[in-house]
Amino acid sequence: MSNFGVNEEDFQGDFGVIAENLRCNFGVISEKLRCIFGDDLNNSQLKILYILICDPESSAEQMSDLIGKTKRSIEYNLQQLKNKEILIRHGADKNGYWEVAKSQFPCENTQENAEQFNLSQK
């Protein structure tokens, strides 16, 4: 998670903080994500990516509560992100986690990627 410029202590399992940051800063967050992943992602997919960067063990149901979309809509968008090779699922449905594919970042240097995706700056 630190590779993305996200403070782990602030986000570890604290969906209230994630939801508030997403609500207040979605313009900045979505612009940074679009710079990294391209313009062909919809707002739901951008929100899903942000949530999974903050908490890779988030479930579709938890993301549904945060984003305000149906669980089925979240699952559809997760599948789209997997098809685009942006997300990789590790482990089983119950105890697995999501990984944002590093091959999708424009810079080979993870420090440059972290600086590009520094969510602490508004």
Q: Give the CATH number, domain containing residue 95.
A: 1.10.10.10
Residues 117/5, Cβ–Cβ less than 8 Å:
yes
CA-CA-CA-CA torsion sign (91, 96, 102, 104): positive
Task: Report the distance separating Cα 59 and Cα 52, nearest Å.
Answer: 9
Residue 121 lies in a domain: no
Q: Strand, coil or helix: what is 100?
A: strand
Residue 100 lies in a domain: yes
Tell me which residue of 53, 56, 47 sits closest to 6, measured CA to CA. Answer: 53
Residue 104 lies in a domain: yes
Q: Which position has the higher pLDDT, 16 or 110?
A: 16
Residue 18 lies in a domain: yes
pLDDT in tens, 30-71: 788 887 787 889 989 999 998 888 888 889 999 999 889 999
Mean pLDDT confidence for 6-31: 64
Query: How many domains are there within the chain?
Result: 1
**Is pLDDT at 102 greater than 90 in this prediction?**
no
- pTM of the predicted structure, to 2 decimals: 0.68
Identify residue 120 by its one-letter amino acid code. Answer: S
